[in-house]
A and B are shown apart, each in its own frame.
Chain A
Amino acid sequence: MAIFKEGDEIVRELSFSLAQNEAFDEEMARDPRVFIIGEDIGEHWGGPMGQFRGLFAKYGAERILETPISETAMMGAAIGAAATGMRPVAAMMFVDFLGVAADELLNQLQMRYMFGGKTTLPLTILAGIGTGVSAAAQHSKSLFGWLIAIKGLKIVVPSTPYDAKGLLKSAIREDNPVIFLSHKMLGGRLTSEIPDEEYTIPLGKADIKREGTDVTVVATAFMVHRALSAAATLQEEGISLEVIDPRTLVPLDKQAIFDSVRKTGRLVIISEEPRTGSWAAEVSATVVEEAFDYLDSPIKRVCAPDTPVPFTPGQEKFWTPDEDDLIKAVREII
């Protein structure tokens, strides 16, 4: 994948899916207990974003386990294997499908707590999220608000290939259940420079994707890119946005958000999910409770409307928060 850039320096630019692919490969090579279980991840496909391509050829059917269309059995098997010494990666394809394995998520993942700390569950769940491809209500959700309500689960939402690789490696090494959410719209042309040498990114550490002085924008996944684009537009008017990407919803790097709000005095949260019961609401409430004195104006949430996700492109675009929605919110508080 190496491409030449200016001068003699060779830089590896990888896509979101290939960065994840490298993470899987490195972690499977590093630890024989790591395996991937899911639907259509093997010989004939490689997953909806191609992130599993080549792994079957290298690791075989013993470690790339293709299941029937049985999400309940798959999630349950991953939990059972994690409780007995393995480190499974369960590929759920789309986050919407978690509904089919809801008991495993709501009632079985909490084994460690229910057993009084006796068990560890080193389990990574992979799921695609987001709108953008007219996949309609059953293949487009992000479910952040729903997922943060599940206790005992860490939640990773990367926005760049670099972050995706480093966070995925950390997720697989975690001794806790982690869900790793990949936004569909990040699977395309977006690339990051990926170093040759190995690296990991700790869970719970936000990244400032753009420094600014006037308004803090908290964004995750594809919304980070929309926030950066809005920031470029507003910069021309002399309004400076600081874009904070928490990268993990649980644990949440609250301090990074507080520090930014202390500097800017203003906060907008852009999140691709319906407003009511959203993760954005939780961030807003947290800042009000713990950092209210830093605020010079009301917090704004830029979210989707309280409806299921529509299919037709015009409606899907209307539903999904974008640069214009964000710019409008910023103007209301500046």
Chain B
Amino acid sequence: MNIEKDRLIDMYRTMVRIRQFEERVSKEFASGNIPGFVHLYIGEEASGTGACAALRPDDYITSTHRGHGHVIAKGGRMDRMMAELFGKKTGYCKGKGGSMHIADTDLGILGANGIVGAGIPLAGGAALSARMRGTDQVVICFLGDGASNRGTFHEGINLAAVWQLPVVYVLENNLYAEKTRISDTYKLTNLSDRAGAFGIPEVTVDGNDVIAVYEAVQVAVEKARAGEGPSLIECKTYRIHGHFEGDPQTYKPAEEVEEWKKKDPIDNFRKRLADMGVLTDEDTGAIDREVAGEIDDAVRFAVESPFPAPEEALEDVFA
């Protein structure tokens, strides 16, 4: 491992932002301040953070219904995202999208997506576009274990493989597709084994180890940028919350949850940073407090922002 100190600190801060953002969303949702559905990323912070750390600002990501963490990791603004969750005019989508459609195309965030697996073909298109425009931009396509059983997975990755498109598929295997265990929908132990079917490289990493994710994705990004085509990286991780907020999670064994809480990606990274002498407990505590202030600011921004006028629903259909 040879990662500069500032990057490690940035990754820690990003993971804490994601965790605190999601914990606050959980509270605000329970209080009735957030309409619709929200799907939280708590427990999976390392994979989005490590993956996006390997990207340049002009690179792209496609995200999923569980996308808040990806947006923060790619540099998205928490205040505008929170405002969108509240349905406010200052939100990323002016209140038209909500949690499942957060996008910031200026930052290369081509959208969360309410349809499981739908980002896979879109990522291929962004990668095709990057190549046709003569850039060396790369696309990270985030997808879950559930998405890897959709037809889009097979069509989209095959096309990218045949055309050697610059895409890195980051498959976040959190063990559950909605409420169904992965062992009920897969004959394989490592989902990344499917890469062989498309003739592309496969990597399986501990998705709760941000450094392992970063290093694996960095290799794949460099390959993609060099014109050597796509890779599939499976990040083994765990969804601490339910499929959606309010999910009673009767399908999860209690001991499984306890076991994964011991593998908490942020706690473990904090210890590791202390061992490495990068950040003391005092330093990480200071970061945690700074982030808490950012979250308060984001919520205040959301609360104080106006709702869009109802008739603005008629705008933005066509350019």
Chain-B contact segment, one of A80-88, A164-172, A306-314: A80-88
* Cα distance A86–B120 in the bound complex, in angstroms: 18
Classify the secondary structure of A's interface with B: mixed
Pick from B2-10, B103-111, B291-299 the stretch touching chain A. B103-111
A68 within 8 A of B: yes
Q: Taking A68-B162, A83-B125, A116-B93 as contacts, is the C-beta distance between A35 and B132 under 8 angstroms?
A: yes
Contact residues, A188-239 vs B (CB, 8 A): none
The answer for the CA separation of A299 and B103 in the assembled complex, in Å, is 46
Distance in Å: Cβ of A153 to nearest Cβ of chain B:
9
The answer to whether B133 and A80 touch across the interface, beta carbons within 8 angstroms, is no
Q: Mark B30-44, 1 if CB is under 8 A from A, else 0.
A: 000000000000000
Partner of A107, one of B96, B115, B129, B130: B115
Interface string of A84-119 (1 = CB under 8 A from B): 111010000000000000011001100111111111
Q: Does A151 interact with chain B (Cβ within 8 Å)?
A: yes
Which of B15-23, B153-161, B205-213, B277-285 is the interface stretch?
B153-161
The answer to whether B124 and A115 touch across the interface, beta carbons within 8 angstroms, is no
Which residues in A have their C-beta under 8 angstroms from that of B96?
A: 113-116
Q: How far is the CB of A17 from chain B (nearest CB, A)?
A: 26
A80 to B118, CA, bound (A): 11
Contact status B122-A115, CB under 8 Å: no
Q: Which residues of B contact A80 (CB under 8 A)?
A: 62, 110, 121-129
On whether the beta carbons of A104 and B121 are closer than 8 Å, the reply is: yes
Taken together as a complex, chains A and B put the C-alpha atoms of A85 and B133 apart, in Å, by 8
With a cutoff of 8 Å between Cβ atoms, the chain B residues found around residue A72 in the complex are 121, 151-152, 155-156
In the complex, whether A134 has a CB less than 8 A from a CB of chain B is no
Q: Is A152 an interface residue (CB 8 A)?
A: yes
Q: Are B122 and A76 in touch, CB under 8 angstroms?
A: yes
Q: Are A76 and B152 in contact (CB under 8 A)?
A: yes
A86 touches B118 (CB 8 A): no
Binds A, one of B48-56, B188-196, B220-228, B310-318: B310-318
Is A85 within 8 A of B115, CB to CB? Answer: no
Please measure, in the bound complex, the distance between the C-alpha atom of A76 and the C-alpha atom of B143, giving whole angstroms: 15
Out of A62, A74, A75, A85, name the residue touching B129 (CB < 8 Å).
A85
What total count of A-B pairs have CB within 8 Å? Answer: 142
Most buried by B among A67, A74, A82, A84: A84
Residue in contact with A77 in the complex, picked from B93, B159, B318, CB distance below 8 Å: B159
Shortest A204–chain B CB gap in Å is 11
Residues of chain B lying within 8 A (CB to CB) of residue A103: 115, 118, 152
Residues in chain B near residue A82, CB distance under 8 A: 125
B114 close to chain A: CB less than 8 A: yes
Q: Give CA–CA (A103, B118) in the complex, Å.
A: 8
Contacts of A154 in B (CB 8 A): 318
Is the C-beta of B91 less than 8 angstroms from some C-beta in chain A?
A: yes
**A182 in the interface, Cβ–Cβ < 8 Å?**
no
Report Cα–Cα, A92/B319, bound state, in Å. Answer: 24
- A117 contact set on B, CB distance < 8 A: 94, 315-316
Give the Cβ gap from B186 to chain A, nearest Cβ, in Å. Answer: 21
Distance in angstroms from B113 CB to nearest chain A CB is: 8
Contact across chains for B319 and A77 when beta carbons are under 8 A apart? no
A window 149-167: CB within 8 A of B: 151-152, 154
Kindly supply a per-residue 1/0 record for chain A positions 7-45, scoring 1 wherever the CB is within 8 Å of any chain B CB and 0 otherwise: 000000000000000000000000001010000000000
B75 at the interface (CB under 8 A from A): no
Q: Cβ of B122: which chain A residues have Cβ within 8 Å of it?
A: 76-77, 79-80, 83, 108
Contact A112 B319 (CB under 8 A): yes
Q: Which of A274-288 contact B (CB under 8 A)?
A: none
Contacts of A176 on B, CB cut-off 8 Å?
318-319
* Contact of B158 (CB < 8 Å), options: A73, A104, A119, A151: A73
CB contacts (< 8 Å) of A84 on chain B: these are 60, 110, 125-126, 129-130
**Contact present for A78 and B125 (CB under 8 Å):** yes
A-B complex: 7 closest residue pairs judged by Cβ atoms: A76-B121, A80-B125, A116-B94, A117-B316, A116-B93, A73-B155, A77-B125
Contact sample, A vs B, 12 pairs, CB 8 Å cutoff:
A35-B132, A68-B158, A73-B156, A73-B159, A83-B105, A88-B125, A104-B121, A107-B114, A108-B122, A111-B103, A115-B93, A116-B316
Kindly list 16 other residue pairs between chains A and B, CB separation below 8 angstroms, not including A80-B123, A86-B132, A119-B103. A68-B162, A72-B151, A77-B125, A77-B159, A80-B127, A80-B129, A83-B122, A84-B125, A107-B118, A114-B93, A115-B93, A115-B105, A116-B95, A117-B94, A118-B92, A154-B318
